[in-house]
Amino acid sequence: MPLTLQPLHPLFAAEAGGVDLARPLEPAAIQAIDRAMDQYAVLVFRGQPLTQDQQIALTLQFGPLDLGFKKAANPHSRLKYKEFADISNVAENGEIASRTHRRIVNNMANQLWHSDSSFQNPPARYSMLHSVINPSWGGETEFADLRAAYDGLDERTRAAIQDLKAEHFALHSRFMLGDTDYTQEQIDAIPRVQWPLVRTHPGSGRKLLFVGVHACGIEGLTVAEGRVLLSDLLEHATQPAYVYRHRWQAGDLVIWDNRCTVHRGRRYDLSERRELRRSTTLDVDRGAAQAPDGAAAMVY
């Protein structure tokens, strides 16, 4: 059955169907998903319960896995693969974590607008977030289309930022939230990178405004001037007209393109159990994809 698509927003995002993500995808299905990602940037697959093995196997079909922030801080994980980001409020013992647990502090940073792994080179391409358990209220994920945001800039601003580069730093968002307990080795683990504020999305060919909370300064500007400009641009990019809000159901799998979107989680009651897990691909040649440790035992 071919991939089906139902738009969810006037500008981007679509609900996708017609494929079983728990089974190996045919090359034609992978190509169809890629084309849909180039157009919509966010694809929502409903009713696709996946095991951890199945999610990793699915992700590997779209590129090598990204460790992201775990290269700077690799806390104990209750999940099978270190490449998973544990987007939950669950401790290693399986109980709901206390509000001071490091995972809770780290995941609070997910409530700030960001693009996964924009703080490294190579950055991330696709992220795949799978919902297991949801709280009774809140916990939605919002996405903003950075291509539409660029289209909506006035000409003066476009001209002013055309040649500017922003510095992205892995721990910038953590420091903002008061999470400063890192060694110098952890701080240096992911070197700061610079990305142009105006980039071209390779799939759609559209220009985009590459901003997010990992951006901490602009080359050639004072810290204050650069951060105010970044704040203004991010506020512009995340206005309601450019945002799709996803309300999770158990079994949802949402894929988004980090090269042309930012996203954030929303508040929920931390005393209620919430479990999602994210796997992410690097923005490199897919021929470099390799299975993580233990993946040889994957069974569809």
pLDDT of 293 over the 80 cut = no
State the DSSP string of the chain.
Answer: ---EEEE-SSSS-EEEES--TTSPPPHHHHHHHHHHHHHHSEEEE-S----HHHHHHHHHTTS-B--GGGGT-----SSS-TT-EEEESB-TTSSBPPTTSHHHHHHHGGGS-B-TTTTSSS-EEEEEEEEEE--SSB--EEEEEHHHHHHTS-HHHHHHHTT-EEEE-TTHHHHHTT-----HHHHHSS--EEEESEEE-TTT--EEE---TTEEEETTS-HHHHHHHHHHHHHHHTSGGGEEEEPP-TT-EEEEETTTEEEEE--B-TTS--EEEEEEEESS-GGG--PPTTGGG---
Mean pLDDT value of segment 286-294: 60
Across the chain, what does the average pLDDT equal?
A: 92
pLDDT at 219: 97
pLDDT at 53: 98
pLDDT of 72 over the 70 cut = no
Domains and CATH numbers, the chain: 4-283 (3.60.130.10)
pLDDT of 44 over the 70 cut = yes
Could you tell me the pLDDT band of residue 263, with boundaries at 50, 70 and 90? very high
pLDDT of 127 over the 50 cut = yes
In 3D, which of 78, 32, 55 has the Cα closest to residue 295? Answer: 55
pLDDT of 294 over the 60 cut = no
pLDDT of 27 over the 50 cut = yes
**β-bridge pairing 198-200 and 207-209:** antiparallel
pLDDT digits (tens, 9 = 90+) for 174-192: 898 888 888 898 888 889 9
- Which of 243 and 187 is assigned the larger pLDDT? 243
pTM of the model: 0.94
pLDDT at 103: 80
pLDDT of 75 over the 80 cut = no
In Å, how far from its chain's centre is CA 258? 6
In 3D, which of 55, 79, 85, 52 has the Cα closest to residue 67? Answer: 85
Contact 274, 88 (CB under 8 A): yes
Could you tell me the pLDDT band of residue 102, with boundaries at 50, 70 and 90? confident
Could you tell me the pLDDT band of residue 145, with boundaries at 50, 70 and 90? very high
pLDDT digits (tens, 9 = 90+) for 155-177: 999 999 999 999 999 999 889 88
Could you tell me the pLDDT band of residue 299, with boundaries at 50, 70 and 90? very low
Out of 13-22, 192-201, 261-270, 284-293, which region has the weakest mean confidence (pLDDT)? Answer: 284-293
pLDDT at 148: 98
pLDDT at 100: 84
pLDDT of 254 over the 90 cut = yes
Could you tell me the pLDDT band of residue 52, with boundaries at 50, 70 and 90? very high
